[in-house]
Chain A
Amino acid sequence: MKIAFFSESVADESALKILVSGILQEEIEETDLPNKLIYRSCTHLDKDLPAVINAVHYNSNAEALIVVSDSDDTPVHINDHEENENEKCRLCQLRKAIEKSLSKLQTFEGKNLLKVAIGVPVPAIEAWYLIGINPQVSSNYWIRFQNGEKIRYDRQKLKEQVYGTARPSLKLETERAIEESTRIVENELIEDLETNFPQGFGKMADEVRNWK
């Protein structure tokens, strides 16, 4: 399947290709997009998304798009948001922008409607990399932190655990992203990721499986 990725860095994209391939249980084919899609600012992410979705749909051979953005300090997506959208929740923001863009897309000969799945690591993608290593990583644990409880990690500590430093080089980030996502797939930990991050990873995995 030809899948495009819209994420924060080439390191994230490297991991996502392996994880999504693990979910689909098939190789991801390269698309003919000339450049990597990398966003700078999550404030503008929902504003950039229509242009990205249009470009991927109309100007590339991609069948699907994965959009992944760290939740950072935004509220964690919970079931309640399905009924009552939370404007500050990153998953709600992205979903709204994507639904609006997809509703305007037109299909044409040889091109079906673009499929889009959203992933929101809580609070950052490093938490996904630590599944099976750090038993605490989960969105529920982070919710406890957001509710004022003292917990054992924050974004910096997650980075230190994954990279050995809070200031990793892009090269190191990419190497570790590939190592950890390969470990997750090879050790069959995708399901654990879905359990510990039901909204930010689980929903993305469900969506991706529906593409088959």
Chain B
Amino acid sequence: MITSIHYKNFKALQDATLPLGRFTLIVGANGTGKSTAVKSLEMFKSPARYLWNDIISKSLISNDSLSTVDIESDRFGNAKVQFSQTSHKGSFSGNPNLEKLIIEFRLFSFDSSKISAPVPIQANTILEESGRGLAGVLDQLRDSEPERFEELNAELNRWFYEYDRILFEVPADGQKSFLLRTTVGKHKIKASELSDGTLLALAYLTIAYLPNPPKIVAFEEPEKGIHPRLLRNIQEAMYRLAYPENYGEKREPIQVIATTHSPYLLDLFKDNPEEIVISSKDEKGVHFERLIDKPHIKEILQDAPLGEIWYSGVLGGVPAHI
């Protein structure tokens, strides 16, 4: 597990340390480095593909000619990713096992139109960042892990009473797509006709039920398109990845990082404030701070729900002038 990432001259992150746990929820205003931080892991998978201009923020250009990222982990020691003005490509140095772990990283920012899209029939379909490929992933799950697929169907029915089963069809030669069967009437609803929220939720649910999910995953704004009452289920899907032992899963825990702007989602973490990181920005740049490291946090959190307190601004991580 990655325990922290220190950024120096990396895009908008001039000098910031992001603390990470098994599950980390980053909360903050727009432009406070949340996306930059989660997307940076995608870049660390193959730093040689990126040039100096990809790393340096034009608006924050400094005289430094080196961008350094220090990554610490609990099991594989440290690693360093460097991008320099003088060399053409970025570089990764450190424990090969840590590099292997980072290569497994996957960022998800789902788009309902991509989730519902038919996919070519082929082996080893993977779920793309946008959710494209879901039909193939579900089809593989049904074939290779039928019991798990049945559990997923049962959970789908708990989330959406109106649907009781995932079915498949071949909409055109060489393609596959999925449908949901209605609990009442057993009608088949094509993926393209399902609501955005249903499609998004199904993507989260599917990742949570994969037998071998990627070792590190990030979800950008999982509240997007999801009804506030369903957020509890989305939290559970993410927890199923991060704390598999609580859900009867035998696999290793997955490190999960999520970003949010939603007080509704934040409220669900009132009993686990250690999982929350507040991102904020001042004249010195972006800062990440664990909620529990804020002074007198116990007293501050005493009288109101976490989401409300965050929205009020007393914790930081809100737009400063609105």
Contact = CB atoms under 8 A, between A and B. Distances in A.
A41 B271 contact: no
Contacts of A42: 304-305
A93 B305 CA distance: 15
Given A40-B267, A73-B302, A88-B303, A169 B236 contact: yes
Contacts of B264: 40
B229 interface: yes
Interface in B291-316: 301-305, 307-308
A17 interface: no
Contact of A41 (B240, B267, B272): B267
Interface in A122-177: 155-156, 159, 164-171
Given A40-B228, A40-B267, A165-B246, A73 B236 contact: no
Contacts of B232: 9, 170
Contacts of A187: none
Contact of A167 (B233, B267, B272, B305): B272
Contacts of A74: 302-303
Contact of B271 (A88, A156, A171): A156
B229 to A, nearest CB: 7
A43 B246 contact: no
A44 B311 CA distance: 14
B246 A167 contact: yes
A33 interface: no
B251 interface: no
B158 interface: yes
Chain A, interface SS category? loop
B243 interface: yes
B120 to A, nearest CB: 35
A38 interface: yes
A84 B229 CA distance: 37
A43 B239 contact: no
A191 to B, nearest CB: 30
Given A40-B228, A41-B305, A43-B305, A168 B271 contact: no
Given A40-B228, A41-B307, A155-B271, A73 B158 contact: no
Interface of B: 158, 228-229, 232-233, 236, 239-240, 243, 245-247, 264, 267, 270-272, 301-305, 307-308
Given A9-B232, A42-B304, 18 more contacts: A40-B305, A41-B267, A41-B308, A42-B305, A44-B308, A73-B301, A73-B302, A74-B302, A88-B303, A156-B271, A159-B271, A165-B243, A165-B245, A166-B271, A167-B243, A169-B247, A170-B158, A171-B158
Interface of A: 9, 38, 40-44, 72-74, 88, 155-156, 159, 164-171
Closest 6 CB pairs of A and B: A165-B246, A73-B302, A41-B305, A43-B304, A43-B308, A169-B236
7 contacts: A40-B305, A41-B305, A41-B307, A43-B305, A72-B270, A73-B301, A165-B243
